A and B are shown apart, each in its own frame.
Chain A
Amino acid sequence: MNVYSEIAGNKTKTYVALAIFFLLASSVLYVLGKAMGMAGPGLFLFAFLISMGVNVVSYYYSDKIVLKLHNAKEADREQYFDLYTVTENLAIAAGIPKPRVYIIQESAPNAFATGRDYKHSIVVVTTGLLELLDRRELEGVIAHELSHIKNYDMLLMTVVSIVVGLIVYATDFFMRAQWFRNSDDDNRQGALWVVLALIMAIIAPLAATLLQLAISRKREFLADASGAYITRNPEGLASALEKLSLSSVPTMSSATNATAHLFFENPFGSDKGSKKSWLVNMFSTHPPLAERIAKLRTM
């Protein structure tokens, strides 16, 4: 498989996942609406507004929030010559403005990118990563991060998590509303919808989360491929990932669930070492390292 087909393939898979995702969301809302009757639409709007509000704020201030959370410092050109110039050079190749570059004092090797658009984008790397990698490998990692920026992954994942939030809040409201049900206004058909809605309310949040993770993994593959397209050297990232899989400091102390999807590699190190089952993979934000390395080596 070459770089072009890899990029096209992952884009298609993202679209398919998104389509399933919105289908799921609308059928959940439909069933819940049927079960709840008049109260439905108002509550859904409320759920949507909450989810929208939370996600839009975190999207808009993503750079500032993350920098504060991880206590990152801006990298200067003299001290971090390779990191700074590599970012500058790859931004030239990708045709985007150079993002600001930040450093986290942290021995676990990792990196991430965030920011709402090209102008506000940032790339953050840990000191552990800089110690581990040489210049070509660093190029691979930074190109992966710049691809996230270039592919508007922050925007995509925000839209996805707005919908996940909507499903989670809507089903939650529905469950709570069951306590106050007036059993008098039940008829046979209504009861059927309620049973269906109850089943959905249990399954849907989990399904939505799994879909969100699936999309996230596809975007990682896509960033790997478009990164390889920028550097014209897939081996750089492959060798960086290989070093990472062998590194002895696996977990990031400052990572939280909220920021896990941003990282260049799963910050909790759940897929280090031996092959993990498909069940573990399903709950990961990132595809297994071995699979990413194998794909890069075929490009």
Chain B
Amino acid sequence: MSYPLLLTGSILLFALYIWGMYNRLVVLKNRIDEAWSGIKVQLTRRADLIPNLVNTVKGYAKHEKQVFEDVTKARSQLMSAGSVSEVQKAQSGMTAALKSLFAVAEAYPQLRASENFQQLQKELSDTEDKIAYSRQFYNSNVLSYNSQLQQFPTTVLAGMFHFTSKDYFQMDEKKEEPVAVSFE
């Protein structure tokens, strides 16, 4: 085989290698975006349950205005949050507000006994599970993207094309406990 042919061949192979590496990064990055929209779906689901919940509690505990305001405020903050860190913050606020709402509900046995309230509690704790699992899926995608990004030789290419590592979606550990649910 002649020398120029060999040279062209190896340049071609190298270009193919770079091409593959670049596309791999794009795929991994898009998976993170997809996982992120998965989290948003679950957060919206939770937000949709809130007005219903507030109305049910209101029916039995009209004068607990402060709690309702907190929850409604937390909900609108969560709805308007865009970036990962914003959502993270709004999410903790929401969990705290819901916690105090359920603490209030504890004082009203009739409310706790109502079928509607129990159903909402069940839905809500299931949604908490869904949020937790979609967060886990998101983080595992971030893990594989970041590991790919930081490995040699991808890290060189990533620097050239301005790929940057992504943040994990974290939750405030103290506030992460599931909403207290009791079915007495």
Contacts and interface: CB of A to CB of B under 8 A. Distances in A.
B122 interface: yes
Contacts of A95: 35, 137, 140-141
**Chain B CB within 10 Å — which of A92, A95, A232 has the most?**
A92
Given A92-B134, A232-B136, A81 B129 contact: no
Interface in B128-150: 129-130, 133-134, 136-137, 140-141
B153 to A, nearest CB: 24
Contacts of B42: 92
B126 interface: yes
Nearest to B42: A92
A117 interface: no
Contacts of A232: 136
B129 A89 contact: yes
Interface of B: 35, 38, 42, 122, 126, 129-130, 133-134, 136-137, 140-141
Interface string A228-263: 000010000000000000000000000000000000
Interface string A60-93: 0000000000000000000001000100111011
Nearest to B41: A92
A185 to B, nearest CB: 51
Contacts, number: 27
A81 B122 contact: yes
Contact of A88 (B122, B130, B136): B130
Interface residues of A, number: 10
A120 B122 CA distance: 29
A142 to B, nearest CB: 12
Interface of A: 81, 85, 88-90, 92-95, 232
**Chain A CB within 10 Å — which of B35, B126, B133, B140 has the most?**
B133
Contacts of A93: 133-134, 136-137
Contacts of A92: 38, 42, 130, 133-134, 137
Contacts of B133: 89-90, 92-93
Contacts of B122: 81
Contacts of A81: 122, 126
Nearest to A90: B133
27 contacts: A81-B122, A81-B126, A85-B126, A85-B129, A85-B130, A88-B130, A89-B126, A89-B129, A89-B130, A89-B133, A90-B133, A92-B38, A92-B42, A92-B130, A92-B133, A92-B134, A92-B137, A93-B133, A93-B134, A93-B136, A93-B137, A94-B137, A95-B35, A95-B137, A95-B140, A95-B141, A232-B136
Given A85-B129, A92-B134, A95-B141, 4 more contacts: A81-B126, A85-B130, A92-B130, A93-B137
B143 to A, nearest CB: 12
A2 to B, nearest CB: 15
